[in-house]
Structure 1
């Protein structure tokens, strides 16, 4: 069976991902602040919305800018964005629980959650970590089900922190988002202003494969040095 994908409209990123973001799974973009996670989300949402597709966009950090979206896609495409902006983890839970029906009734072609863990991070502490992790897992399970049942891509972003044991970046939520995300893509910022995107986990692409992209006024673009490495 052929895997269907949604283009990012960025040549280097599409080449890395064999054509774009896979339908039917959760794709997780993770990285430190300023690495381009929200811009990637807006770019993918703009691609779908420009082609007439509806997008459910759950914005937990207030990062979605209509002005930025219109720079990438135009004013008319903004009408295809169904925005949800939960302010705490319970509201995020309710937003995700409610979108299954919306996806079917509105013929939604993409779901974005930016970020999946920022409100989780505010909620979790040593005493309730197990309970909050279970709630996060249920949310991601529901998103995975929506992706599979409707054959659409679900894109989430993930914050990171430094793991002192391993001295490297670790996903907030650790094993929970790792399990439910069938594609894990790490974003880092290069010294020349470009961003690097590296495959950390994927069903069909070798781990460690990477490329670069730039963030411009019109969205994501391919830098002059666009080779995979």
Structure 2
């Protein structure tokens, strides 16, 4: 859920006076609002000169919170959703596509976990270039650590093309590159703001054109680098932001049948054994979790499945040569 200030543009009741009132009670985000004593907040609002407007703002925030919760579904509805046809997007990485029985699944959030360097960004760039070329769809790449390399993407695209006239090859590379949009995101609040803007844009496109959007893949590299900055301490604020961002990513994937790919790093665990960052509360969020490791001696990349919600029986791991 977003910071309150980002709601000001779309909701008239959340104006400068309301934001100032909330700030005086140390409320800066929807998460702060949730953990605050609302009865006390309303009582304080009634003591103000603009009590009617302030209570209207409080009601507006509560309605926004309610809209974020998905309606309850019965068993038949859930079964129907699992049977609904989902697009499979080949990543261009043979090992990953084989392990996932075709590639990244539309409507799902897939997480790549691994130490640095294990090939997480390489997989993201490979998937972005392959999907933009093969499916002629749009890719949105949210870069949190300057990992996006246009030269690398252009090289990966050129490898997908058969030998052809130089002008034709350059024109194809230009078309594919123009379908990949990269945005620099440096904190969790900026990420939430970008995702909410994207949600509004996609929803508007569907309502106006009455058809699916052309966005096929959304990449966040690295998701964990944004979250670790707000985790820690005794409060639950950081975990609330993390779960809210995860929920929004899954919501975008489900409503618009696009694949979401995020990366996560490793941290030290008990007995010096490495484990995925972000803790127990995060590991239930992704539909699929893949663990990557890189054998630098042989240049082989190893991949194993940590979690998969759709595959009852599957290959546990694979290796392939990284070029």
Same fold? TM cut 0.5? yes
The alpha-carbon deviation at position 210 of structure 1 amounts to 0.8
Change beyond 3 A, Cα 1:151–1:123? same
1:170 and 2:270 matched: no
Task: Spell out, residue by residue over 1:83-127, the C-alpha distance to the aligned partner (whole angstroms, 9 max, x if none).
Answer: 111122221221222221344536311111111110222233324
1:96 and 2:195 matched: yes
2:161 — aligned with what?
none
The alpha-carbon deviation at position 177 of structure 1 amounts to 2.9
1:142 — aligned with what?
248
Task: Give the alignment's TM-score, normalised by structure 1.
Answer: 0.86
> 8 Å contact 2:99–2:315 — kept in the other structure?
no
List structure 1 runs of 4+ shifted beyond 6 angstroms: none
State which of 254, 268, 285 in structure 2 corresponds to 1:180.
Answer: 285
Task: Give the alignment's TM-score, normalised by structure 2.
Answer: 0.62
State which of 295, 298, 307 in structure 2 corresponds to 1:201.
Answer: 307
2:228 — aligned with what?
121
> 8 Å contact 2:186–2:226 — kept in the other structure?
yes
More helix by percentage: 2
Change beyond 3 A, Cα 1:57–1:102? farther
> 8 Å contact 1:199–1:206 — kept in the other structure?
no
> 8 Å contact 2:99–2:314 — kept in the other structure?
no
Cα RMSD, aligned residues only:
1.8
1:227 — aligned with what?
none
> 8 Å contact 1:59–1:115 — kept in the other structure?
yes
Change beyond 3 A, Cα 1:89–1:117? same
Change beyond 3 A, Cα 1:12–1:124? closer
Change beyond 3 A, Cα 1:108–1:102? farther
State which of 202, 214, 228 in structure 2 corresponds to 1:107.
Answer: 214
Answer with 87-96 or 188-197: which moved more: 87-96
Secondary structure at the aligned position of 2:319 is classed as strand
Answer with 198-207 or 17-26: which moved more: 198-207
1:52 — aligned with what?
136
The alpha-carbon deviation at position 24 of structure 1 amounts to 0.7
More strand by percentage: 1
> 8 Å contact 1:13–1:213 — kept in the other structure?
no
Answer 1 or 2: higher relative contact order, Cα 8 Å, separation at least 6: 1
Structure having the higher Rg: 2
Q: How many residues align?
A: 214
Change beyond 3 A, Cα 1:156–1:140? same
2:94 — aligned with what?
11
1:68 and 2:152 matched: yes
Secondary structure at the aligned position of 1:180 is classed as coil
How far apart are the structure 2 equivalents of 1:176 and 1:97? 22
> 8 Å contact 2:129–2:176 — kept in the other structure?
yes
